[in-house]
Amino acid sequence: MKILITGGAGYIASHTNIELLAQGHELVLIDNFCNSVFESVKRVENISGKNLKFYEVDLLDIPALENVFEKEQNIDAVIHFAALKAVGESVEQPLRYYENNITGSLNLYKAMKKYGVNNFVFSSSATVYGDPEETPVKENARIDATNPYGHTKAMMEQILIDAAKAMDWNIVILRYFNPVGAHGSGKIGEDPEYPANLLPFVSQVAAGIREKVVVFGDDWDTIDGTGVRDYIHIVDLAKAHVKAIDKLSNAKGTFIYNIGTGRGYSVLEMIKAFGKACGHEVPYEVGPRRDGDIAEVLADPSKANNELGWKAEYGLEDMVNSAWKWQKENPKGYRE
């Protein structure tokens, strides 16, 4: 298939692009580099041995966006990664988040309609469940996002579902749990300037860039009192997109899947596992709870296992080993 990848230079897209190229798909990437650099695209080209078509385009720029559809005739499907994704920042800058994520997506949906593209994969998030009543959580659980970023994801899902009904689009919504780790080559990985998530933070502490990890509370109702999450290896997550594209070529309708392992790890378990990967203990101290955090959330991935034929294959060791390899071999990320 010829697939348009929005946010094509970002963390999850880079890993997904490698898997899609390996399956023979043709890719057209767009990104505005608000949270990425072109180096990631070059490295994907190196790893896969294929040239990529790339457009530096902001989804808020309608003429530039339409120009891509105009030039690239016969796009079969879109995978929509482009979004702002930092929960804390979304609380401080809600209008920027709504404009980028909602208006940007609406521009994309309208361009798809104009140019007759009707297959779509959407990057959603476990964040749409908020603090679910039951965990592991199933796809039919209540949507109850608790911050502006989560609201943008829940709203985009709804807009997409309505649009798909009206225009006969085929869509797959993937709700990712906690993506971590890096490609086995050590050439691509997560490259945040200031890490908002646990594992990149732990990784920078292990590398001596930051002094210690602050554990956000050890009085949660969990196995050891620290928060428990369903961490998913980035390469497993990337492969779920290949399955989603396969689904679109042989089924019609709207499909929603949790993408997680179903197995949780606590903050302390993650820090300990990372210490093993890097060969020394990672210093930490226990601090107060973070606003808006929850004790535990895990995916029930059985729907994706059964219907998509996708299952997470990598375990915790692979997650932390790959994250450490990336950190060690690229101490400044892509910015060297």
Give SS3 for 15: helix
Footprint of ligand NAD on 112-131 (CB under 6 A): 123, 125
Q: Which of 146, 185, 197, 254 touches ligand WQD (CB under 6 A)?
A: 197
Least distance (Å) between residue 216 CB and ligand WQD:
4
Q: Which of 17, 32, 258, 266 touches ligand NAD (CB under 6 A)?
A: 32
Q: Which of 3, 4, 5, 12 touches ligand NAD (CB under 6 A)?
A: 12
* Tally of CB atoms within 10 A around 103: 13
What tokens were used for 107? 């521009």
87 binds ligand WQD (CB under 6 A): yes
The torsion angle over the Cα atoms of residues 175, 147, 145 and 58, rounded to 10 degrees, is -40
- Judged by CB under 6 A, the stretch of 74-82, 165-173, 212-220, 274-282 that binds ligand WQD is 212-220
Q: What pairing do the DSSP bridges indicate for beta strands 265-266 and 228-229?
A: antiparallel
149 is catalytic: yes
Strands (E), 128-227: 170-176, 178-180, 213-216
Binding residue count for ligand WQD, defined by CB under 6 A: 17
Choosing from 11, 97, 98, 149, which is the catalytic residue?
A: 149
- Judged by CB under 6 A, the stretch of 104-112, 158-166, 196-204, 232-240 that binds ligand WQD is 196-204
267 binds ligand WQD (CB under 6 A): yes
Residue 179, beta-bridge partner list: 232
Are 25 and 75 spatial neighbours (Cβ–Cβ below 8 Å)? no
69 binds ligand NAD (CB under 6 A): no
222 binds ligand WQD (CB under 6 A): no
DSSP letter string over 230-292? Answer: -EEEHHHHHHHHHHHHHHHHH--SEEEEEES-S--EEHHHHHHHHHHHHTSPPPEEEEPPPTT
The Cα 84–Cα 98 span in angstroms is 9
Residue 105 touches which member of ligand NAD, ligand WQD, none, C-beta under 5-8 Å by kind? none
Point out the residues that are catalytic.
Answer: 149
Q: Which residues bind ligand NAD (CB under 6 A)?
A: 7, 9-13, 31-36, 58-60, 81-85, 100, 104, 123, 125, 176, 179, 197
